[in-house]
Structure 1
Amino acid sequence: MRPSIDPGRTTPAWYLLSTVAVWIVVAGVVEFTVAGGRPTDAVVTGTFGGLAFGVATLLVRGNDDA
């Protein structure tokens, strides 16, 4: 059975989207519990963190396929 979100190069857009969504949720929880609850900061931090982590993971996984 194939997972719906494949973190491979076949569906990098889905992987990046899911990574950004997870990072926004994590940044939101941290932002609201620790840093005073600014939702804009949580979305910005989650978006950039998710994109950076997602692209780096895709690049590393791409090198593993070779």
Structure 2
Amino acid sequence: MSDPSKRCLSCGDSFQLFRWLNDAELAYVVSKVGRAEAGTFRRCTHPGCLRVQPHFAFKRGFRLPEQFR
């Protein structure tokens, strides 16, 4: 299930659909931001995009490593 569209800075600041993180993505995000905040992160569903960001704070996101492509 996808979340409503949100701004994605990696996709030219356009609106894209975001989805919940899978287990591997979540583990990586937990290592970067901690468990308490990681549950708010979603991943852009645009093909080839590696961006993850909090649901309500798009500017605080970052790109996943290439291994998640």
Task: Decide: shared fold, TM above 0.5.
Answer: no
Judging by fraction of residues, say which structure has more helix.
Answer: 1
Structure ranking higher on relative contact order (CA contacts 8 Å, 6+ apart): 1
Give the structure with the larger strand fraction.
2
TM-score normalized by structure 1? 0.32
Q: Which structure has the larger Rg?
A: 1
Q: TM-score, normalised by structure 2?
A: 0.31
